[in-house]
Amino acid sequence: MNNEKKIVTEILDCIESIIKNISKDNETIKSFRTRARDIPLYLFMRGPTYTMVYIAARSNVYILNKAFKASNCEELIMSIIGRDQKFMRMGSDKKGYALYGAVVIYVLKRLNLIKAGSFTELINETLNNPALYSYLSAISEWIKRFAEGYIEA
């Protein structure tokens, strides 16, 4: 299976998990959709390192780090929204950033596109691996399209 097919499959699984598990939190779902529409531009204008730091600044590194350990997207989403007090205390805007960033990291890790095991390592990898830009571009565009198609504005 080629990388694009794997990317599409993983992202669709994540989008469906988000919708299934967060559908009652309309503001967070809308925030995720907004992030999905905005982040590709940040990536294009500022590059992968800035974009990932920006996502972390708008959410929470502790939550983003969960994406490095998840074995599937349902597990990731549930570990974030389940009983995580940090996530529960966030506003819907921050929750949208956290979910978006976690999905991006999860897909990168799941497809072995990165070696990083933490957010700090990911930042170092974005600085030293120019190929990550193209992977992040593809991932962010697919998330955008699925979010626009599956989540109502």
pLDDT digit string, tens, across residues 27-56: 999 999 999 999 999 999 999 999 999 999
- Specify whether the CB–CB gap between 65 and 87 falls below 8 A: no
Spatial CA neighbour of 105 closest among 81, 123, 84: 123
Task: Encode pLDDT of 132-141 as tens digits.
Answer: 999 999 999 9
pTM of the model: 0.95
**Cα-based distances in Å from 3 to 58, 73, 108:** 29, 17, 11
The dihedral region occupied by 48, where left means phi > 0, alpha psi between -120 and 50, and beta the remainder, is alpha
